[in-house]
């Protein structure tokens, strides 16, 4: 059981506040958000920072619940995923991870790359355009969540895709939110 201690040391070293791995349901989403809120209250975090972190986490959890693919053939879990939030003196780091179809990887990369090079005015215009004209995917997404996370965090979206098998890749999304204040 040394791996538990090793996991604990890693979480301390990475300043992890909340880590969840498993199926993401509405009840799990509420519980993860409640734990995050309690921890941030205990830190005496500023209200504007709490709102940004909370809003970004909601978007991450919604993306996972809508778009994660099942990669464990032994499990009946529909949207197994990982979400973590870490904190240091200057920022919060939110990371989510879930399986996606390999056929979707280039489309996701393209959306994120497009969003990452936009300035605030361009992001606002894209957000309005998606609301007005966005074509929804079969799972209910038009990229609005990614745009919203980029706008709320104020930082570019980090991402990675790690192949799982010939059908799936593990998609990791990283968002950084400054603790420096300001809206």
Domain extent, residue 47, equals 2-178
| Euclidean distance between CA atoms 150 and 161, whole angstroms | 19
Task: Establish if 124 belongs to a structural domain.
Answer: yes
Question: pLDDT tens-digit profile of 40-72?
Answer: 998 889 999 999 999 999 999 888 887 778 766
CA 121, distance to chain mean position in Å, is 23
Task: Establish if 183 belongs to a structural domain.
Answer: no
> What's the mean per-residue pLDDT of the chain?
86
| Euclidean distance between CA atoms 28 and 17, whole angstroms | 16
Predicted confidence at residue 126, as pLDDT, reads 87
Task: Establish if 9 belongs to a structural domain.
Answer: yes
Task: Establish if 149 belongs to a structural domain.
Answer: yes
Cβ neighbourhood burial of 77 (10 Å; 0-12, 13-18, 19+): middle
Percent of the chain whose predicted confidence (pLDDT) is above 70: 89
Predicted confidence at residue 107, as pLDDT, reads 92
Domains: count for the chain:
1
Task: Establish if 118 belongs to a structural domain.
Answer: yes
Task: Establish if 36 belongs to a structural domain.
Answer: yes
Q: What is the CATH number of the domain that holds 63?
A: 3.30.565.10
Question: pLDDT tens-digit profile of 98-146?
Answer: 999 999 999 999 999 999 999 999 999 888 888 887 654 445 455 788 9
Task: Establish if 41 belongs to a structural domain.
Answer: yes
| Euclidean distance between CA atoms 161 and 167, whole angstroms | 13
Q: Are the C-beta atoms of 61 and 33 separated by less than 8 Å?
A: yes
Task: Establish if 85 belongs to a structural domain.
Answer: yes
């Amino acid at each position: 059981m040394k791996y538990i201690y090793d996991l604990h040391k890693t979480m301390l070293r990475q300043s992890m506040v909340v880590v969840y791995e498993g199926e993401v349901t509405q009840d799990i989403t509420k519980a993860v958000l409640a734990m995050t809120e309690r921890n941030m209250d205990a830190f005496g975090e500023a209200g504007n920072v709490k709102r940004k972190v909370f809003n970004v986490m909601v978007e991450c959890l919604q993306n996972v619940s809508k778009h994660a693919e099942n990669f464990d053939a032994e499990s009946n879990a529909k949207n197994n995923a990982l979400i973590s939030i870490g904190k240091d003196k200057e920022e919060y780091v939110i990371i989510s991870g879930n399986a996606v179809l390999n056929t979707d990887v280039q489309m996701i990369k393209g959306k994120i790359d497009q969003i990452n090079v936009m300035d605030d005015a361009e992001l606002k215009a894209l957000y309005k355009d998606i609301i007005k004209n966005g074509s929804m995917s079969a799972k209910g997404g038009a990229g609005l969540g990614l745009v919203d996370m980029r706008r709320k965090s104020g930082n570019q979206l980090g991402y990675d895709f790690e192949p799982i098998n010939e059908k799936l890749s593990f998609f990791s999304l990283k968002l950084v939110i400054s603790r420096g204040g300001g809206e």
